[in-house]
Structure 1
């Protein structure tokens, strides 16, 4: 291989599953002309765009899995060197592909207290098996960010929690599970994206902490992973001036952060992968195509993810990098490809998932995380009130009749939804939080919030909260509720476990 071909192995541009034929052909041209090393799959251009929650357009998103399998086969068939296929699936393929197994969010798994590491390793293992079936070699997960800022617009539910040691252990367990399944994984977003106010898709977040403060919190999960032999770390687009000589520069393009700190000081000798290079925290800084790619490579990244300027990036790197640098990075990527079986590619068939086994695991997990977080439940009293027609159920954002509603009605042998709130002495409120992201109070409208708060102040109420627990802060004083049950997810298995608390 010549230097151009070796440098090209560093590139993993975005491939969109729902796209135009013209764009599919543009990817084929990249593969043929530039001989890129891999592709990172996303659902669609719309869903990969920053703050895509506000999207109004209607996409034909049917058959996502079938389309992705078809595209992987199509792209691998023309690539001179088999492509390293990656995806960002923190809670499984379902993060990008509908009708595939979805696992709990990191914040949910962080609520498990018994045998957490073993259970998380099993989740990582199952996620890895699903991905392997679908032709994916590398999952750009898990997050090792410590969620120290509750107003963080971009991490939140993606973090295992606020305790650095717990985050270190759980993210490592998830990583090891994926590795056991035979796929690659990476800890992200070094040096830690948990204590930021800005979404790096939109601008550059800055962490104004001293190096000592960062070492006591943000860096702990990464150092723990390095000490345990983790082989890949993703660097985030966030500035920590204390680590970069006082400069407000994204860690992803800072040689002080990647080479001096991560590689030399912290002893990491594995593969460094950049966060998506199209993100505005870095993309807007370099108007000359290819300059950003060179800066990222020079800083110490081995794999350049989501580059929009592959050809120019290869040219800039070949012009500026030494032969030794190129050779060293190429060897790392080639070894990774061998380890992950990339060179053994065979045409893929549509994978079949074991939904029964998946549901059994979901139930096992839900038993551990669904919890009564305050107050107590008096089943006898509730049964008596139900028999007298004085127990009501008020649901918000419930799609059709939920499993939770059905199970409660069976338990109390009455249709609680039909009991009027005026007659009720006690009200069970079930809230299915519409969004796991903090935008617009997690998607809960102001009038609904007001209605729930008012109910809690005028009646004896039990709140059952299905969704991101960070949304609880919008519901006023939780002591206004007689009891609060946190379901964390709206999975049917979680609803069933929540109903059993009654």
Structure 2
């Protein structure tokens, strides 16, 4: 009875572990043939014609791929060429080098071969895995974090990689990696796997495979039958996978089965010891008939090319010497051997196996024929050498960067988000520092963070002393938010992911401040090393340290982009597979490249450079900054020229920078007065059809009492164009009149016009009285006038009770992060960051630098509604993007859409008046104040100092141009004569219309 029970139990176990395979065998459909076996009769004829001239030894040679390096000596290249020519090998697998060097070597090797070589490479994350100066895509584990809805991006990556490969003369990519990485300590697969979810691994690997194969690049899925659950690197030893057949069927084999059924062209077999599949001691899977022939070819019905993993790896050579290992591989059923250490010995041993009848000549012939069919499919029947001209440019097209950015963006994972701190909101309440751990200089992450608002940067690394750490923590006390970037410089577990003991201490101390948002630029498994990191206010995982992950993680934090990534592996109890928060974008500017919005970066740069350089050559301005955005995406930012031509008049002839501050001149009108009035309209405190007398009691009974603001803001209220207030301070002999200016500051003369010129404190009353008393023009018609804009600061303060600048900064600039927008910038910024304007030889007798250029505004302590605002192009664009987004920016609706629409529409088209309320608009027939290609929906403004901004909702255009064209003199008007500012805008329109 006991014996019978044992038999029943044994049968039960056998059925349990056999059932998955039996069920799959019953229900499986025949796999889709690999693509190279679906070709026409012409492929077979070509293969047969080659076979006719190949004796056995040459057929065997066709099944061997030699290793090739393009970063070695000429002597090495000579010997490699001789090896190929002597043995007429089937292919070459390239490793380290550079694209141009490899292309030349490739052409040389192909010339030495009677049958074109099949060229392969391990390029799992792009050709950059092996060659410098080429595109590097994210690691597979990074892409494993992407939601299923983004898998098409992986297909696009595969297609793009195929294009690059063909351009480089490459025919096979030993990818994708179809291993399921369910062992966190895996030293060799790890980040190369899509993750631990077999379904996601299969789905994403299939997208990658199809992208390549649909675009004529052969693939080789790896590492069969599954290398994901190993603690040993097969490069250095033979790993043991001690799993049952049922476990292997359920997990490791699942992705391979799915990809084979979908038509995979190749399968790479790993060097693994798997007793459940082959009990022969120390026999690697590459040399196992049970695994290669019985399982892969017979049970899974794979009839594509079976590639070995590199035959120089210790996983095979530890127990089988070169030559014998190659023979055993062929006996096991291997089709192609790569990186054979001793090629003459391998060919000899395989031919001996045919003589010994352990491999038949027909088997060799069949494998050789499949190799030739693959070559035909890859286009080698019409082999052409790699063209060297433009090779680097062709391999590094901007479209590849767009794919790269999209892949990175889709993978970003937010693991914790306490109280929805991300994306950051209420910027006006935040005092932000950024700390880059394991960095010694400002990082890409920190630089991008600073594009969104004021962020004070710090760097610290594991070599820091206790005193330095204490000083950093003390400095952080004045901030209420700390954005921590952990910059790990190694992705591999063997190197502990680049984590030093002090790294853990630093991150813990920063997290324990209670105000840290932590971004870990490194392997997901690295999270297990960090104590208390789950207690951060938010935790962002970008999975690796690259320019793109740093850039886009910063943009995620500020809500320019969202996050939908999910952890592809289990790290520990706190961080498990599938974890992740969905974050929606909130409409702040995104920074990217033109191709992301369908514009050619080359064409756009050429067009803009052509216009700007024309102005530079004509000395229309010493320098300028151009910033362009479309659909909320900043796609062009460039600084040109210098601050000044030379230093003879003062100032510095240093290169212009993107973060330089310029005097906006009349662009001040649409960046201070106009938005302030819009907000007051929204609050019901200002009516554009009200009169001047209603809001300025002193104007009652004046000739301006009944003037409507709608007419005033459209410059048809009969106001004089301007009043030269400074001229009234002069005596006929050129000296200043009594009670106007003095050379020394005092309580009576507090208004600083220059370092040595101070205005009488009551003199502004004279200015405002002159405006009130000024006569009106005889006719109601369009006459551009500054006068009303002198008055809006008074109106705003009278209505709100808050000084004009304070009101603007608190209610408008700070909430959108436009913190450089300011009057009198010398209070906050060094002169090196402020671009000089004009040398004033008439009034102030000095270089105007960091003070308002306009004389009238200067006499009002630098603050007026018509001039005086300074700032960077980037911060001005935030404001103009607010207009383009109908009053919304970030988390705030600061102006109602209806108010934006009202202020930016034509007010009096029937009168031929082209103005909106405060804004310039295109004329009905072209004139120089608007771009020629602007739509009727567009609007903007120009400034006397050489500034310009234009917004066009019809095409999502946002454009800022800042220059100091008045340096050294306002008499230089070449910027207008040459149409530079509108010319740049028209170049942008042409680029939009042309597309990629």
Does TM, scored on the shorter chain, surpass 0.5? yes
CA contact (8 A) 2:482 2:517 kept: yes
Please state whether the residue corresponding to 1:115 is helix, strand or coil: helix
Select the structure of larger CA radius of gyration.
2
Partner Cα distance (2:425, 2:257) in 1: 51
SS of 1:238 mapped into structure 2:
coil
1:241 touches 1:249 (CA, 8 Å); kept in 2?
no
- Are 2:555 and 1:496 aligned? no
The structure with higher relative contact order (CA 8 Å, sep 6+) is 1
2:326 aligned partner: 293
Relative to structure 1, the CA distance from residue 73 to residue 165 in structure 2 (aligned partners, 3 Å threshold; closer, same or farther) is: same
Q: Say yes or no: does 1:437 pair with 2:478.
A: no
Instruction: Report if the CA contact (8 A) 2:438-2:503 is conserved.
Output: no
- Is the alpha carbon distance of 1:408 and 1:5 closer, same or farther for their aligned partners in structure 2, counting shifts above 3 Å? same
Shift of 1:399: 7.0
**Structure-1 separation of matches of 2:401 and 2:442:** 20
Which position in structure 1 is the counterpart of 2:421? 377
Paired with 1:366 and 1:333, the residues of 2 have a C-alpha distance of 36
Structure 1 gaps, min length 5: 45-63
CA distance in 1, matches of 2:405, 2:84: 43
| 1:196-232 CA-partner distances (Å, limit 9, x unpaired) | 0000000011111000000000000011112112121
TM-score by length of 1: 0.91
Residue of structure 1 equivalent to 2:380: 342
Equivalent position of 1:228 in the other structure: 262
CA deviations over 1:132-175 (Å, ceiling 9, x no partner): 11111111111000010011000111000101111111111111
- Give matches, 1:80-479, under 5 Å: 80-245=114-279, 247-287=281-321, 289-321=322-354, 322-350=360-388, 351=391, 352-375=394-417, 376-377=420-421, 379-380=424-425, 383-386=428-431, 391-398=432-439, 400-417=441-458, 420-479=475-534
Distance 1:414 1:233 in 2: 50
Q: CA deviation at 1:18?
A: 1.2
1:116, CA displacement in angstroms? 3.2
Cα drift, residue 380 of structure 1: 3.3
Q: 1:19 to 1:455 in 2, by over 3 A?
A: same
Give the 3 Å change call, closer, same or farther, for CA 113–4 of structure 1 in structure 2.
same
- Paired residue secondary structure (1:177): helix
Deviates more, 1:183-192 or 1:424-433: 424-433
In 1, Cα distance between equivalents of 2:77 and 2:170: 18
Partner of residue 4, structure 1: 57
**Contact kept? 2:481, 2:515, Cα under 8 Å:** yes
1:275-297 alpha-carbon deviations (Å, 9 max, x no partner): 0000011112224x411110111
Structure 2: distance between partners of 1:110 and 1:241: 30
Q: Partner residue of 2:584?
A: none
- Give 1:38 shift: 0.5
Q: Give the deviation of 1:400 after TM superposition.
A: 4.2
Higher mean alpha-carbon deviation, 471-480 vs 133-142, is at 471-480
Matching residue of 1:47:
none
- Which SS does the other structure have where 2:367 is aligned? helix
Q: Distance in 2 between matches of 1:385 and 1:116?
A: 34
* 1:32 is the counterpart of 2:85: yes
Tell me the matched-pair count.
Answer: 478
The structure whose residues are more often helix, as a share, is: 1
Match of 2:710 in 1: none
Offset from partner CA, 1:257-314 (integer Å, 9 cap, x none): 1101111111111110000000011112224x41111011111111100001111111
SS of 1:489's equivalent in the other structure is coil
- Alpha-carbon offset, residue 403 of structure 1: 2.9
Change (3 A) 1:492 1:355: farther
In structure 2, the CA distance between the partners of 1:112 and 1:422, relative to structure 1 (3 Å rule), is: same
TM-score calculated relative to the size of structure 2? 0.47
| Counterpart in the other structure of 1:487 | 542
Secondary structure of residue in 1 paired with 2:452: helix
TM-superposed CA distance for 1:246, in Å, is 5.8
Report if aligned partners of 2:497, 2:522 keep a CA contact under 8 Å in 1: no
Contact 1:383 1:412 in 2 (8 A): no
Distance 1:383 1:248, change over 3 A: farther
CA shift digits 1:222-247 (9 cap, x unpaired): 11112112121000011111011364
Report the 3-state secondary structure (helix = DSSP H, G, I; strand = E; otherwise coil) of the residue aligned with 2:204. Answer: helix
Check whether the contact 2:514–2:537 (CA below 8 A) recurs between aligned residues: no
CA distance in 1, matches of 2:408, 2:481: 26
Of 86-95 and 448-457, more deviation after overlay is shown by 448-457
Instruction: Judge conservation of contact 2:521–2:541 (CA < 8 Å) in 1.
Output: yes
Cα pair distance change 1:42/1:163, threshold 3 Å: same
Other structure's SS at 1:18 match: coil
1:355 and 1:470 mapped to 2: Cα distance? 33
Kindly indicate whether the alpha-carbon contact (under 8 Å) linking 1:116 and 1:170 is maintained by their aligned counterparts in 2: no
RMSD: 1.8
CA displacement at 1:381 relative to structure 2: 5.6
- Give the structure 1 partner of residue 593 of structure 2: none
Report the Cα distance in structure 2 between the residues aligned to 1:35 and 1:148, rounded to whole angstroms: 42
Structure-1 separation of matches of 2:384 and 2:300:
39
